[in-house]
Structure 1
Amino acid sequence: MSNKYAIVLAAGKGTRMKSKLYKVLHPVCGKPMVQHVVDHVKSVGVHTVVTVVGHGAELVKTQLGENSEYALQAEQLGTAHAVIQAAPLLKDKEGTTLVICGDTPLITPETIQALFEEHERLQAKATILTAHLEDSTGYGRIIRSIDGSVQRIVEHKDATPDELTIQEINTGTYCFDNKALFEVLNDVNNDNSQGEYYLPDVIELLKAKDETVAAYKTSNFDETLGVNDRYALSFAETLMRKEINKKHMLNGVTIIDPLSTYISADTVIGSDTILYPGTMIYGNSIIGSDCTIGPNTEIIDSEIGNETSIKQSVVHESKIGDSTTVGPFAHIRPATTLGNEVRIGNFVETKKVTFGNGSKASHLSYIGDAEVGQGVNIGCGSITVNYDGKNKFKTIIEDNVFVGCNSNLIAPVTVKKGSYIAAGSTITDEVPEDSLAIARARQVNKEGYYKN
């Protein structure tokens, strides 16, 4: 197979979205639409991706980073005009170029690969991705010759009554012989009501040169959906979520209620894990095997080990080990690392902390900017006091320490291994090994106080 290139059209603002966020950056299942498209394109071995940017160019570049090269369409004058902006990067290359819109997040790598293969099998100069649609109102119709090649594309407004009955439509995704594409692009004119340069006109120009134009029909119209407004965005989210959930269930994950379970496209989940209703897993999260997640749990960009339970809790940018329990109603904030067989209970908050194996904070505690060793018990209502109003400081709690309830550990401070902190203590100095630290006033009773 020849070299593969791709041009992703992502210059439009998307006024129908009625949003400050540029259209292609709107997320579907936790990932911007244009990122879905670029990821799918690259997964089939495309050598060079050129994203045509315009509105929101810098934001699109920030999102895609080094996954793409870029061409600027400063003024949006149509799809052919957009493609020609990539000429400085591609026009002299030998190979096949895919042209695809950045607002088609549902298209699959399998369909993209099949389009490339059909194009090269037929040695066509252009191959159109088409689909069958019962109600094809508004779409360009594919007019085929007797031999099955494409004769032309006729737009809905220009179609005859007979042509309007055709249900094979143009999806707006194409493969081209790269050099043939750029040779005819300059011949496209804007003699139309919109005064724009349209990419489908390339098809007629190639046919006029007696070049072969083919079509590959996908069996699933839904994956060709272009998202132009919030309603279509919601529809795309629903379709993608259904496919994501189906993939995980077929791989051995139990999802109690798929309609109320939200999983990002990049999440990895091990077999025999159970997801309860209200579970939301976003970003590049990894969930191990035999876990129980939910109900009503949010996990973002986190790694969860095997046989771990997270119930009615929030986990952000953290790592949790095996056989650990979190929740209900815990908040695991970024940069938390929990070891194996750790217990984080109800109304416990952690942030930038490591917990050694077998340690626990069962309820109503805040542990931030801390290192907690193995076998540590942190009693109810205990706090690592890490902030003096200007700077954050670190607390170190070594192995097998017992922290009594309602204790304050004023950082920076170290509690050495095997020590006990008496309930209600405020610790400001280092506690030696195997010691009992008591830092509270002795009880004083004022007898008869209320009679005076």
Structure 2
Amino acid sequence: MSYNKLNTILLGGKKGADGKYPVQREILFTPTGRLVADALPEQCRLFYARQQSEPELEGIESIVCPDDADFTEMVSTAIEGMEGDVMLLSTPMPEVVSEEYQMVMDQHVEAQTAVTTLTCGALDDTWHIAVYNVDVLRDILTCHPLSLTHSIQIAGEISAKTGACRTHSHIDVRSACDAYHAQKTLQHRVNSALMERGVSILDPEYTYISPYCEIGSGTTILPGTMIRPGSKIGCGCTIGPNTILDRAEIGDRTSVNSSQVYESCVGADATVGPFAYIRPGCRVGDETRIGDFVELKKASIGNGTKVSHLTYIGDATVGERVNFGCGTVVVNYDGYVKSQTVIGDDCFIGCNTNLVAPVELGDRVLTAAGTTVTKNVPEGALAVARARQENKEGWNDRRRRMHGQDK
């Protein structure tokens, strides 16, 4: 037995010593309130009753109350105009799963109680989840309860029919310490589920993976890795150690070592790192190499291209099978405007080349080491832009003698 619709109210709380509200505290990179909202059964219509100064929670309808509103005022405001039954969530408990919410809802219907609580753990004197008949809840509110627990005590005093069902202990997140303990539980849950599906996690205690990401079987996650919401990792990859992925898409059999990838795609059979930084808006092709101390920003890198070390590529489109020498810089910004650079297929970019945008290099271009390219280069050409070397015999020996040094 279940509801077609159940109005559900998540109550905001007071700021902690660090200035953060309970619902806004992040656990595995996601606000606690968002985790609660996504765990609720589909038939729950969620409202977030918050104080005026408390930030909104994206995607959840807010009911705004004054900053000095107490429990009674917040609930009274939230249930105005509601009919039927309502579920109150007084403090976010991100560990509670959909089946536990469903259990208290079903028991409320089957037992036809006025108030039904979900009791978490061995103690019965504190509650954080309860389903009420809304008319009974209005009667309770006339007695001005100070908390959800107090409201349930009042229900008993006014002889309202109450019931309870029990689940295992959960943490209600109020402080940073609470969030830490709840995160350890969720971290174990997420990592264990991934390992059951064929993902190898070398040290689950030091690996932080959002529940809102996808990881293919055969992938290995090394310690110190943080995989944030929206990331998608293929099969047979190696991620880490000490790597951050944020809304990143990583192709099959690719390795990302001690690097950071944000809002970008990396293809299959590629290698990234160590110490690479891929900023938002990048597309890196298959069989590519993005090496140490390389930074990409809004760049498209073609299949088979190698950017091995100490290079910056920004606002650029790079073709296939291009080789970048050490110390190459795409000079994309003149202090006012960011301009585009286009590099064709099969180019060889020599060490310490500066490509001053806007500029285009055709296919099969070679730039000599130390070249600064300021105009377009046709396909198949060599670009050389540097002063001719001149040797002055004995110049440095004379200089050394002037400073009292022997030859």
TM-score by length of structure 1 reads: 0.82
> Hey, what's the Cα distance between the residues in 1 that align with 2:249 and 2:259?
15
Contact 1:184/1:205, CA 8 A, preserved across alignment: no
Q: Which residue of 2 aligns with 1:221?
A: 169
3-state DSSP class of the match of 2:389? coil
Query: Relative to structure 1, is the Cα distance of residues 198 and 276 closer, same or farther in structure 2, using a 3 angstrom cutoff?
Result: closer
Alignment of 1:401-420 (within 5 A): 401-420=347-366
Q: C-alpha displacement at 1:254, in angstroms?
A: 0.4
Q: Which residue of 1 aligns with 2:128?
A: 172
Contact 1:81/1:197, CA 8 A, preserved across alignment: no
Alignment of 1:403-442 (within 5 A): 403-442=349-388
Q: Which residue of 1 aligns with 2:37?
A: 38
Deviates more, 1:72-81 or 1:335-344: 72-81
Show structure 1 runs of 4+ deviating over 6 A: none
> Hey, what's the Cα distance between the residues in 2 that align with 1:346 and 1:75?
50
Q: Deviations over 1:89-138 (max 9, x none)?
A: x52x34x42211353222222211222222222232221000332xx4xx
Which amino acid is the alignment partner of residue 21 of structure 2?
Answer: Y
Query: Relative to structure 1, is the Cα distance of residues 125 and 327 closer, same or farther in structure 2, using a 3 angstrom cutoff?
Result: same
Q: Which residue of 1 aligns with 2:188?
A: 242
Contact 2:91/2:173, CA 8 A, preserved across alignment: no
Contact 2:52/2:64, CA 8 A, preserved across alignment: no
Equivalent residue for 1:85, pick from 77, 84, 87: 77
> In the alignment, is residue 336 of structure 1 matched against residue 286 of structure 2?
no
> In the alignment, is residue 184 of structure 1 matched against residue 186 of structure 2?
no
> Hey, what's the Cα distance between the residues in 1 that align with 2:366 and 2:165?
72
3-state DSSP class of the match of 2:335? coil
Q: Deviations over 1:347-372 (max 9, x none)?
A: 11111111111111011111111111
Which amino acid is the alignment partner of residue 273 of structure 2?
Answer: G
Q: Deviations over 1:393-419 (max 9, x none)?
A: 111111221111111100010111121
Which amino acid is the alignment partner of residue 332 of structure 1?
Answer: I
Equivalent residue for 2:110, pick from 90, 102, 121: 121
Q: Deviations over 1:198-245 (max 9, x none)?
A: 444544565567653221111x203xx112222222211212211111
Deviates more, 1:375-384 or 1:109-118: 109-118
Contact 2:76/2:138, CA 8 A, preserved across alignment: no
Q: C-alpha displacement at 1:305, in angstroms?
A: 1.4
> In the alignment, is residue 109 of structure 1 matched against residue 109 of structure 2?
no
Which amino acid is the alignment partner of residue 110 of structure 2?
Answer: R
Deviates more, 1:292-301 or 1:71-80: 71-80
Q: Which residue of 2 aligns with 1:20?
A: 19
Contact 2:9/2:87, CA 8 A, preserved across alignment: yes
Q: Deviations over 1:232-282 (max 9, x none)?
A: 222112122111111111111100001111112212211111011111111
Contact 2:212/2:229, CA 8 A, preserved across alignment: yes
Query: Relative to structure 1, is the Cα distance of residues 371 and 102 closer, same or farther in structure 2, using a 3 angstrom cutoff?
Result: farther
Which amino acid is the alignment partner of residue 236 of structure 2?
Answer: D
3-state DSSP class of the match of 1:221? coil
Alignment of 1:1-16 (within 5 A): 1-2=2-3, 3-10=5-12, 12-14=13-15
Q: Deviations over 1:321-371 (max 9, x none)?
A: 111110111111111111111110111111111111111101111111111
Q: C-alpha displacement at 1:5, in angstroms?
A: 1.8
Q: C-alpha displacement at 1:48, in angstroms?
A: 2.2
Contact 1:13/1:56, CA 8 A, preserved across alignment: no
Which amino acid is the alignment partner of residue 6 of structure 1?
Answer: T
Q: C-alpha displacement at 1:443, in angstroms?
A: 1.7
3-state DSSP class of the match of 1:171? coil
Identity rate, percent: 36
> In the alignment, is residue 375 of structure 1 matched against residue 301 of structure 2?
no
TM-score by length of structure 2 reads: 0.91
3-state DSSP class of the match of 1:347? strand
Q: C-alpha displacement at 1:184, in angstroms?
A: 2.0
Which amino acid is the alignment partner of residue 56 of structure 1?
Answer: S
Q: Which residue of 1 aligns with 2:395?
A: 449
3-state DSSP class of the match of 1:368? strand
Greater length-normalized contact order (CA 8 Å, ≥ 6 residues apart): 1
Q: C-alpha displacement at 1:283, in angstroms?
A: 2.3
> Hey, what's the Cα distance between the residues in 2 that align with 1:129 and 1:242?
23
> Hey, what's the Cα distance between the residues in 2 that align with 1:121 and 1:272?
45
* Structure 1 stretches lacking a partner, 5+ long: 142-168, 191-195
Query: Relative to structure 1, is the Cα distance of residues 262 and 204 closer, same or farther in structure 2, using a 3 angstrom cutoff?
Result: closer
> Hey, what's the Cα distance between the residues in 2 that align with 1:205 and 1:309?
59
> Hey, what's the Cα distance between the residues in 1 that align with 2:380 and 2:365?
4
Q: C-alpha displacement at 1:381, in angstroms?
A: 0.9
Contact 1:84/1:185, CA 8 A, preserved across alignment: no
> Hey, what's the Cα distance between the residues in 1 that align with 2:298 and 2:262?
11
Q: C-alpha displacement at 1:392, in angstroms?
A: 1.3
3-state DSSP class of the match of 1:85? helix
Alignment of 1:250-269 (within 5 A): 250-269=196-215
Q: Which residue of 2 aligns with 1:155?
A: none
Alignment of 1:298-377 (within 5 A): 298-377=244-323
Aligned length: 396
Contact 1:80/1:199, CA 8 A, preserved across alignment: no
Equivalent residue for 1:74, pick from 56, 66, 78: 66
Query: Relative to structure 1, is the Cα distance of residues 204 and 311 closer, same or farther in structure 2, using a 3 angstrom cutoff?
Result: closer
Q: Which residue of 2 aligns with 1:152?
A: none
Which amino acid is the alignment partner of residue 127 of structure 2?
Answer: T
3-state DSSP class of the match of 2:186? helix
